[in-house]
Amino acid sequence: MNKVLILGAGLVVKPMVEYLLEHNFTVKIATTTREKADRMIKGHPNGSSLRWSTDETGILENLIDEHDIAVSFLPYRFHTLVARICIKYKKPLVTTSYVQPEMQDLDEPAKNAGVIILNEIGLDPGIDHMTAMKVIDHIHGKGGKVKEFYSLCGALPAPEAVDNPMNYKFSWSPRGVVLASRNSALYLKKGETCLY
Nearest to 60 by CA among 50, 75, 45, 48: 50
The yes-or-no verdict on residue 7 having pLDDT over 70 is yes
User: What's the full length of the chain, in residues?
Assistant: 196
pLDDT attached to residue 45: 97
**C-alpha to C-alpha distance for 76 and 9, rounded to whole angstroms:** 14
Q: What is the pLDDT of residues 33-42, one digit of tens each?
A: 999 999 999 9
The distance of Cα 195 from the centroid of its chain, to the nearest Å, equals: 25
pLDDT attached to residue 189: 81
Is omega for the bond preceding 125 within 30 degrees of 0, making it cis?
yes
Per-chain mean pLDDT for the chain: 88
Taking residues 70-85, report their average pLDDT.
95
**C-alpha to C-alpha distance for 67 and 12, rounded to whole angstroms:** 21
pLDDT attached to residue 59: 98
Q: What is the pLDDT of residues 96-132, one digit of tens each?
A: 888 889 999 999 999 999 999 998 876 666 677 778 8
Q: Are 7 and 71 in contact (CB under 8 A)?
A: yes
CA of 55: how far to CAs of 60, 93, 163, 175, in Å? 9, 19, 37, 20
- Give the catalytic positions in this structure: 124
The strand order across the sheet containing 26-31 reads 47-51, 26-31, 3-7, 69-72, 93-95, 117-118
Q: What is the pLDDT of residues 131-154, one digit of tens each?
A: 888 999 999 999 999 888 877 666
Taking residues 68-83, report their average pLDDT.
95
Taking residues 50-70, report their average pLDDT.
97
pTM of the model: 0.77
What proportion of the chain, given as a percentage, has pLDDT over 70? 92
